[in-house]
Chain A
Amino acid sequence: MGKTLFDKVWDSHVVTQIEGGPSVLYIDRHLIHEVTSPQAFAGLDQRGIQVFRPQNTVATPDHNVPTLDQHLSIKDQLSRIQVNKLTENTKKHGIQLFGLTHKYQGIVHVIGPELGLTQPGMTIVCGDSHTSTHGAFGSVAFGIGTSEVEMVLATQCILQPKPKKMRITINGKLGKGVTSKDIILYIISKISTSGATGYFVEYAGSAFTGLSMEGRMTVCNMTIEMGARGGLIAPDEVTFEYIKGREYAPKGKDWDKKLEYWKSLKTDKDAVFDKELVYDAADIEPMITYGTNPGMGKGITGSIPSLSELQETERPTFQKSMKYMNFEPGSKLIGKPVDYVFLGSCTNGRIEDLRAFANFVKGKKKADSITAWIVPGSKQVEKQAKEEGIDKILEEAGFEFRQPGCSACLAMNEDKIPEGKYAVSTTNRNFEGRQGPGARTMLASPLTAAAVAITGKITDPREFLAEV
């Protein structure tokens, strides 16, 4: 029987298989950040051991960092201590650190790919659930907890049960104004936040192969939101073209050898998945969420479900969520007023997202009622945006362009959406309090976020696109 792409990558990294238990999986690339690593380093100290393969780990501070005045010392004491700890720990163990003022600093899932650290066929882990992002390159990438971070630091391996396999196929052409973010929000709305728990998902079909690497990363990034361990897309010319020439990409003979291997990374024709789902690209419209988990999403022209549409067991959780959002079940989404717009995060903080947003708002003005934060995913994204004049376009339209970090995606720094306010956010989680205590988050694509930023209310971006 043939093998899936996932099997090929996973199986080639199994050091040994424990009877009736997990695999010992070798990890090629380990990314760390300030929030989930300090206790892991402390564990090594307690055991009196060193990092086993320091060259396989790369570190950057992102979750806690301010998005203004990064050259100054971090004001919040606890954040400062965490970031300093990362510097200390990486220095002590000889790990490469892209610190706060380094030209390569950024959100860990943005810098991995842009530095060429993320490559097809690799196993990649990070103490962060959105590590699934890197699967866009045909790697097996997934988030781990701090005990597992310690395992990787100590032995370059983790113990992991092999997940089941699912394939999601979407063929056809995406409509105007429909982006990769809408595809993934659509899938999650169909299968729920636990619909893929226990699975690793492969995405196939023209709706995915037609995407840029940035678009594929957005899809794989949010795969975790349907409960999956991770998602991946077979590498192709678009992938190779993206990696070529990047700082840590293979060069010369090494490149040729790697390329040959990468080209073999495809699911065999006769491979079998534990579950297969198929959707049609033509059915997807720009999406927005209305509730407090990423599965509570709808096409933007739709309405919030009414109670009668739901199973009885679903109602209490739904009602709790409606109360938190202060939304009326059954009401229309379009036209609801919004207070904040956030463009950024490892889901949609890459250059293509900034371009899409800037193109949309070019020559228009931000609605007075909207506070908008535009946060690039990394120093390199920031630099490129400036080179392309995106910062100017944004300024002219009334937007503020900030410095890189996770920012309002999880509101560990000062960028918090105030209590009770509505935010349309290009991030990945609309959980209660995710963007600040009492904040009300609606997830959407950069295009939808741009349309909202201009009108001050939930708006179908296609209304504007029709003009062009």
Chain B
Amino acid sequence: MSIEKFITLKSPCVPLPIENVDTDQIIPARFLKATTRDGFGENLFRDWRYDKQNQPVSDFVLNNSLYSGKILVAGKNFGSGSSREHAAWAIHDYGFKVVVSSFFADIFKNNALNNGLLPVQVSEGFLKKIFNEIQKDTKVLVEVNLENQTITILSTGEKESFEINNYKKECLLNGYDDIDYLLSIKDKIVEFEQSRTV
């Protein structure tokens, strides 16, 4: 099996300048009852996006037609809390390919990478710049280049590089999947099991 390949992306952004966005907000627990991976996008940020009568909350960014795009830009410490991979599925299913923040929670980062959703960690300063540019022009384009590990605000040309470990980068560029890799080294795993003493 394989994940979706990621090479470069040029897209306007959806800004969410809130810190500590936890996975309970990304996808509330009551929507975790599915037994497949599909359809979670519908309930992405459910309780911020809809009111109690299930009417769209007009000032929430996903309901604002001025904003669109495949890049979600969020405040620091994005994805804290529960290990639910459903959070990454929901963001991806909604149509995002990249999440930009100045800090990511660990489990979320792994989950995102395992689903072809690229977490791009930028400096506080650069994050602020992106928010500022979006404020000036809601359609401002941002380019994420995985090969070069750079993120660029196209209107100003400002650029920053981001970190990703080589292995994960290769996986995303080629659409490889971790499980295929692990299955391919099964002999090593058996050898390890046999070598253990305690």
In A211-240, the 8 Å CB interface with B consists of 227, 229
> Cβ of B66 < 8 Å from any Cβ of A?
no
Contact of A157 among B1, B22, B77, B182 (CB under 8 A): B182
B81 close to A39 (CB less than 8 A): no
Complex Cα–Cα for A281 and B85 (A): 37
B103 close to A194 (CB less than 8 A): yes
Q: A194-B80, A258-B198 are in contact. Are A145 and B88 (CB under 8 A)?
A: yes
Q: Mark B116-127, 1 if CB is under 8 A from A, else 0.
A: 000000000000
Q: Note all chain A residues with C-beta closer than 8 A to B15.
A: none
Q: Note all chain B residues with C-beta closer than 8 A to A459.
A: none
> Cβ of A70 < 8 Å from any Cβ of B?
no
A79 close to B33 (CB less than 8 A): yes
A193 close to B166 (CB less than 8 A): no
Closest chain-A Cβ to B67's Cβ sits at a distance in Å of: 18
B85 close to A145 (CB less than 8 A): yes
B182 close to A155 (CB less than 8 A): yes
A145 close to B198 (CB less than 8 A): no
> Cβ of A95 < 8 Å from any Cβ of B?
no
Complex Cα–Cα for A431 and B86 (A): 17
Complex Cα–Cα for A76 and B33 (A): 10
Complex Cα–Cα for A129 and B110 (A): 13
Closest chain-B Cβ to A23's Cβ sits at a distance in Å of: 10
Complex Cα–Cα for A128 and B85 (A): 10
B106 close to A21 (CB less than 8 A): no
> Cβ of B148 < 8 Å from any Cβ of A?
no
Closest chain-B Cβ to A36's Cβ sits at a distance in Å of: 7
Pick from B4-12, B136-144, B150-158, B188-196 the stretch touching chain A: B188-196
Closest chain-B Cβ to A355's Cβ sits at a distance in Å of: 29
Contact of A26 among B52, B82, B168, B192 (CB under 8 A): B192
B24 close to A432 (CB less than 8 A): yes
Contact of B182 among A38, A79, A159, A437 (CB under 8 A): A159
Q: A18-B167, A145-B111 are in contact. Are A64 and B33 (CB under 8 A)?
A: yes
A129 close to B179 (CB less than 8 A): no
Complex Cα–Cα for A147 and B84 (A): 10
Q: Note all chain A residues with C-beta closer than 8 A to B183.
A: 49, 154-155
A411 close to B30 (CB less than 8 A): yes
In B77-96, the 8 Å CB interface with A consists of 77, 80-86, 88
Complex Cα–Cα for A410 and B114 (A): 25
Q: Tell me the count of chain A residues lying within 8 A, CB to CB, of chain B.
A: 75
A129 close to B81 (CB less than 8 A): yes
B28 close to A437 (CB less than 8 A): yes
Contact of A145 among B35, B36, B110 (CB under 8 A): B110
B189 close to A156 (CB less than 8 A): yes
Contact of B107 among A64, A143, A293, A434 (CB under 8 A): A143
> Cβ of B42 < 8 Å from any Cβ of A?
no
> Cβ of A24 < 8 Å from any Cβ of B?
yes
B75 close to A431 (CB less than 8 A): no
Contact of A148 among B22, B114, B188 (CB under 8 A): B114
A42 close to B36 (CB less than 8 A): yes
Contact of A151 among B111, B115, B182 (CB under 8 A): B182
Q: Mark A154-178, 1 if CB is under 8 A from B, else 0.
A: 1111111101000000000000000
> Cβ of A19 < 8 Å from any Cβ of B?
yes
Closest chain-B Cβ to A310's Cβ sits at a distance in Å of: 12
A26 close to B77 (CB less than 8 A): no
Q: Note all chain B residues with C-beta closer than 8 A to A52.
A: 186, 189
Most chain A beta carbons < 10 A, residue from B88, B106, B188:
B106
Q: Mark A98-136, 1 if CB is under 8 A from B, else 0.
A: 000000000000000000000001000001110100000
Complex Cα–Cα for A280 and B20 (A): 28
> Cβ of B19 < 8 Å from any Cβ of A?
yes
Most chain A beta carbons < 10 A, residue from B25, B166, B198:
B198
A429 close to B81 (CB less than 8 A): yes
Q: Note all chain B residues with C-beta closer than 8 A to A335.
A: none
Complex Cα–Cα for A46 and B103 (A): 34
> Cβ of B57 < 8 Å from any Cβ of A?
no
B35 close to A432 (CB less than 8 A): no
B22 close to A293 (CB less than 8 A): yes
A412 close to B29 (CB less than 8 A): yes
Q: Note all chain B residues with C-beta closer than 8 A to A431.
A: 22, 24-25, 81
A147 close to B178 (CB less than 8 A): yes
Closest chain-B Cβ to A119's Cβ sits at a distance in Å of: 11
Q: Note all chain B residues with C-beta closer than 8 A to A36.
A: 83-85
In B25-73, the 8 Å CB interface with A consists of 25, 28-30, 32-37, 47, 52
Chain B residue nearest to A438 (CB atoms) is: B52
Chain B residue nearest to A434 (CB atoms) is: B24
Complex Cα–Cα for A146 and B110 (A): 11
Complex Cα–Cα for A82 and B24 (A): 19
Q: A82-B33, A317-B18 are in contact. Are A16 and B188 (CB under 8 A)?
A: yes
Q: A21-B168, A159-B181, A193-B80 are in contact. Are A147 and B114 (CB under 8 A)?
A: yes
In A4-43, the 8 Å CB interface with B consists of 15-16, 18-22, 24, 26, 35-36, 38-39, 42-43
Closest chain-A Cβ to B120's Cβ sits at a distance in Å of: 16
List the 7 closest pairs (A to B, CB-CB), nearest first. Answer: A21-B167, A145-B85, A78-B33, A38-B35, A145-B111, A143-B83, A147-B114
Could you jot down 14 A-B contacts, CB within 8 Å?
A21-B167, A24-B185, A24-B189, A36-B85, A38-B36, A146-B37, A157-B189, A198-B106, A261-B198, A316-B18, A317-B20, A429-B22, A429-B24, A433-B47
